Amino acid sequence: MDNLINFIETAIQEGKFAKIREEIIQLNVVDIAQLLDDLEGEKTLIIFRLLPKEISVEVFSYISSDQQQFIIESITDKEIKHILDNLFMDDTVDILEEMPANVVKKVLKNAGEDKRKLINQFLQYPEDSAGSLMTIEYVDLKKEMTVKQAIERIQRIGVDKETIDICYVMNNYRKLEGIIHLRTLILNDADVAVADIMDTNFISCDTHMDQEEIGNLFRKYGLLAMPVVDQDDRLVGIITVDDIIHMIEQENTEDFQVMAAMEPSETEYLKTSVGTLAKNRVVWLLILMISATFTGGIIKKYEDILASVVILASYIPMLMDSAGNAGSQSSTMIIRGLALGEIQLKDLAKVVWKEFRIGIIIGITMAVVNIARIYIFDGVGIWIGLTVSISLFITIVLAKIVGGSLPMIAKKLRLDPAIMASPMITTIVDAVALLVYFQLAAALLGI
């Protein structure tokens, strides 16, 4: 790609536009989009305009939103109309959702009246709903058709559809009654009725279903496309797997950011300003810093114990780190299980019981190793070794239970389970670890 960019920059300076066109049309449209994203300013516009019209539209749907905005602001109304006329509806809506108002206005001005109405309708759906993901470019059939008639219809209208692998069978009121795969049509006799071979046991969603639920359905049933219906079971669009892959990528990115105690951002890291990145991070860091006041308060409350047996203070970091790590392990597993639909809210008791048993095994192992380490390397009394190791055992068990249950409680409260990830869990179990440690020290050491 670097060599190609160097070639293009040199060729532009030399005016060898025909040579540039010859080189880039041999690339895959995704690679052309990456090329445009790597170029700057007028060079991007020059390359875009060198593309054949049938390629330029597809490339446009893959380039970054910043480059899309730049191109729309730079090209003529006629060129915008050509792009709109050939873009799939879901791609058009996705692009407009990320554009500033003045760009959206320019795009809508160049859209036909029917398409403008459709775009406005799509933009009214909630951002994370099936309605915002779906496209209306699908092949619809009637169950009264024969296989021959169905194939003829696909040949006639399929060229402008996003997918023809699956066709949707509706009645006269547009109520979805079944689906049929192209393979099924091809492998049956020409005079067989569509009604006799269509699949009536299909998975669908309504226009307001959350996109995460839709992603789980795609993953669970191995779908390539899913019909979207309204409250009366009338087909209004379909969602294809490429949109789901993009959505899952966005959701995973958001979860990682939340789990790292940051405000989610849809903008790429290198394209996000320093001020925005700092703002996204500082809020949670402030919350966690203030919440750590509880930890400091606990230490201050038991400062007499620390003053009596100073060596106890040296084991506090190990206890807090071990508890935080143990809790983070559990919370990460549960958050991922909730995201994949492998764990449901009704499984809370099962999760707590399993994490309790895991905590017992890990806690005993770590406590035994720890008491041996203290005895051999630190040379302290047996009661101090027992105090530290028993505290470690108890905090590991509690951390596992807390780490496993809090993400599920968060989901029950309609919060993002990812909030209960490493930073938050660590803050909570640190306080628990200190309380257990000092209470046990007071009991066993008689302080």
- Cα–Cα distance measured from residue 413 to residue 126, given in angstroms and rounded to the nearest whole number: 21
Cβ atoms of 142 and 194 closer than 8 Å: yes
Cβ atoms of 20 and 8 closer than 8 Å: yes
Quick one: pLDDT at residue 270? 66
Quick one: pLDDT at residue 316? 86
Chain centroid to Cα 184, Å, comes to 34
Strand, coil or helix: what is 206?
A: strand
Quick one: pLDDT at residue 359? 94
What does the pLDDT look like over 371-381, one tens digit per residue?
888 888 877 77
What does the pLDDT look like over 21-59, one tens digit per residue?
888 888 898 888 888 888 877 888 888 888 888 888 888
Strand partners, 142: 170
Quick one: pLDDT at residue 269? 64
Chain centroid to Cα 215, Å, comes to 10
- Cα–Cα distance measured from residue 234 to residue 117, given in angstroms and rounded to the nearest whole number: 19
Give CA angle at 66 (62, 69), nearest 5°. Answer: 90
| Residue 373 to residues 366, 379, 381, 382, 434, Cα–Cα distance (Å) | 10, 9, 12, 12, 21
Cβ atoms of 207 and 160 closer than 8 Å: no
Quick one: pLDDT at residue 22? 86
What does the pLDDT look like over 155-173, one tens digit per residue?
998 887 888 999 999 988 8
* CATH code matching the domain that covers 2-124, chosen among 1.25.60.10, 3.40.50.2000, 2.120.10.10, 3.40.640.10: 1.25.60.10
- Cα–Cα distance measured from residue 410 to residue 425, given in angstroms and rounded to the nearest whole number: 12
- Cα–Cα distance measured from residue 386 to residue 368, given in angstroms and rounded to the nearest whole number: 10
Strand 225-229's sheet: what is its strand order? 205-206, 225-229, 235-240
pLDDT category of residue 239 using cuts at 50, 70 and 90: very high
- Cα–Cα distance measured from residue 117 to residue 238, given in angstroms and rounded to the nearest whole number: 18
- Cα–Cα distance measured from residue 249 to residue 242, given in angstroms and rounded to the nearest whole number: 11
Quick one: average pLDDT of 407-422? 78
Which overall architecture, per CATH, does domain 140-240 show?
Roll (3.10)
What does the pLDDT look like over 246-285, one tens digit per residue?
888 777 777 766 666 566 666 666 667 788 778 777 776 7
Cβ atoms of 281 and 262 closer than 8 Å: yes
Residue 47 tokens, joined: 């390359």
What does the pLDDT look like over 53-110, one tens digit per residue?
888 888 888 888 888 888 888 888 888 888 877 777 777 777 777 777 777 777 777 7
Cβ atoms of 93 and 111 closer than 8 Å: no
Q: Is the pLDDT reported for residue 422 higher than 70?
A: no
Cβ atoms of 425 and 327 closer than 8 Å: yes
**What does 208-269 look like in DSSP terms, one character per residue?**
T-BHHHHHHHHHHHT-SEEEEE-TT-BEEEEEEHHHHHHHHHHHHHHHHHHHTT-----S-G
Q: What single-letter amino acid sits at 321?
A: D
What does the pLDDT look like over 329-366, one tens digit per residue?
888 888 888 877 788 889 999 999 999 999 999 999 99
What class is the 292-444 domain?
A: mainly alpha
Listed by start position, the domains of the chain span 2-124, 140-240, 292-444
Quick one: average pLDDT of 201-230? 90
Alpha carbon distance, N-terminus to C-terminus of the chain = 70
Q: Beta 225-229 vs 205-206: how paired, if at all? A: parallel
